[in-house]
């Protein structure tokens, strides 16, 4: 699988330089805290990277890394460090296996991308879980050389998400961010209308998720500014009348949409 090269990817283990880095780190931290049962940085460091904690004048002294992870101020290291020990992402997977998937999820690449062509979007959507990918791309051997055609045909098909299926919600949101990055889709009102209603189905579950829920408004505001723009103001009609603007127009429907 050739995954499209996307600029502005983070160098893991360093100070974040943008909001997407921060969202990625906080979602990863929250996914660990949810499984381990605490969001206290010192407790998580003691459980996951105990070797970073030292005695100083007879007192236990933790590093500041996990405090920075919690606040999205430092990207965790994936892979192994110079000392040969697993970095924070790999070490955390031993305690919260899904945390690695959250950190490496294609949504972060989709958020950092600019305009994508159909093949780039197809390749990246194909890295999602197969259960999600099949909504958009024909994965049969017969279509192996022309999967972009199936994506073009399937853009806008209605999706269904179980209310508590945070992973599928994240996958489907990622797919639609990629779709909105395709230049031609930006000019097709009918496709954008379908995207608006499909995206709305992802926002409710993610707002209730332990990963993105604590900062979902901040992340959705960023997406509105940088990806979908006035998509909801122009195209989304809520079932209940309200004076909200942007993605907030979809909130009355979060509990009534057919996931």
With 90 as the cut, is the pLDDT of residue 234 above it? yes
pTM above 0.85, yes or no: yes
Identify which has the larger pLDDT, 54 or 238. Answer: 238
Q: What angle do CA 38, 219, 89 make, to 5 degrees?
A: 45
Q: How confident is the model at residue 11 (pLDDT cuts 50, 70, 90)?
A: very low
**Residues 25-54 as b or e (16 or more Cβ within 10 Å = b):** bbbbbbbbbbebeebebeebbebbbeebee
86 or 96, greater pLDDT: 96
Contact 161, 202 (CB under 8 A): yes
Rounded Cα distance, 131 and 38, in Å: 31
CA 42 to chain centre: 26
Q: Rounded distance, CA 208 to CA 166, Å?
A: 8
Look at 109-113, 131-135, 140-144 and tell me which has the smallest mean pLDDT: 140-144
| pLDDT at residue number 79 | 84
Contact 39, 85 (CB under 8 A): no
- Rounded-to-integer distance, Cα 157 and Cα 128, Å: 17
pLDDT in tens, 16-65: 579 999 999 999 999 999 999 999 999 999 999 988 876 565 566 667 89
Residue 61 pairs in a beta bridge with 54
Q: Which one is predicted more confidently, 240 or 256?
A: 240
In the chain, % of residues over pLDDT 70? 89
| pLDDT above 90 (res 202) | yes
């Amino acid at each position: 699988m050739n995954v499209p090269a996307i600029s502005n990817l983070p160098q893991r283990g360093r100070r974040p330089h943008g909001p997407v880095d921060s969202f990625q780190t906080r979602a990863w931290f929250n996914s660990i805290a949810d499984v381990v049962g605490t969001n206290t940085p010192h407790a998580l460091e003691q459980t996951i990277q105990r070797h970073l904690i030292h005695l100083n004048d007879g007192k236990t002294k933790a590093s500041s890394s996990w405090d920075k992870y919690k606040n999205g101020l430092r990207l965790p290291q994936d892979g192994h460090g110079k000392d040969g020990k697993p970095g924070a992402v790999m070490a955390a997977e031993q305690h919260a296996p899904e945390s690695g998937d959250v950190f490496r999820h294609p949504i972060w690449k989709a958020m950092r991308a600019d305009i994508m062509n159909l093949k780039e979007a197809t390749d990246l959507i194909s890295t999602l879980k197969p259960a999600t990918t099949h909504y958009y791309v024909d994965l049969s051997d017969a279509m192996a050389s022309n999967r972009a055609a199936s994506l073009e045909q399937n853009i806008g098909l209605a999706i269904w998400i179980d209310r508590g299926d945070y992973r599928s919600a994240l996958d489907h949101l990622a797919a639609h961010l990629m779709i909105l990055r395709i230049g031609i889709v930006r000019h097709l009102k009918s496709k954008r209308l379908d995207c608006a209603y499909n995206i709305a189905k992802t926002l409710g579950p993610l707002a209730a998720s332990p990963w993105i829920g604590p900062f979902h408004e901040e992340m959705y505001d960023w997406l509105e500014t940088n990806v979908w723009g006035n998509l909801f103001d122009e195209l989304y009609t809520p079932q209940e009348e309200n004076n909200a603007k942007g993605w907030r127009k979809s909130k009355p429907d979060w509990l009534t949409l057919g996931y």
